[in-house]
Amino acid sequence: MEQRNVKLTVAYDGSGYHGWQRQTDNIITVQQVLESAIVKTVHHPINLRGSGRTDTAVHALGQVANFFTNTQIPTEKLYHAINSRLPDKSIRVRKSEDVSEKFDAITSAKSKLYRYAMFNHEEIDPRDMRYCYHYSFPCDANRMSEAAKLLLGEHDFTSFASAGNDRECNIRHLMRCDVSREGHWIYFELEANGFLYNMVRNIVGTLVEIGRSHWAVEKIPEILAALDRKEAGFKAPAEGLTLMWVKY
């Protein structure tokens, strides 16, 4: 059978994993576990390409990956076969489909949407702790929403990139930066053509500083212009972050 390029849409609970990307040392990552399940399914080595490197404890509903295979398993049934070899409570392949041989989960991506969840109340259901940032002090979502709009457009986001960022160019186009409140929950949704290392979590931490009135809304342009990580806010915890989808 001819080799084909298979695109996978993957969801995972990142709580028990050291991020997406396979590591050289003996620690468990999502890519490592998923690759192992795929190899057991197709019976040959693969090179799995993921759309991005989510960090330890970060989740995904729409991570995208691709690999080449000559398996005889029909593509529309392939994800069922892979799922049968995955831990059913933490990683699920939601869809498998044939794509062009030129498709690459990393380089073909046009934009990504991340959603960050914050629970803003003194008391929290402990079952939610793995999927949000619990911030118990008053925080004004309207102030944060106003500040978020100042981040929209194309900017050099160096001030929001953590140490370890290895991108040669830190200019990104932020297409969406929405903040909304639903009861005690505050949600941040950010869509961009690409993200720097910890960019979303650093933006959320900065907006929280504004939401609690520690900083003025107008500080956002100053932070962007500084090109200095020290000028931005704290890095929000990983647990609240989810990769929702990747657009191609």
Is 140 considered catalytic here?
no
Q: Considering 55, 98, 104, 156, which one is annotated as catalytic?
A: 55
229: phi > 0 → left, psi -120 to 50 → alpha, else beta; which?
alpha
User: Would you name the residues annotated as active-site residues?
Assistant: 55
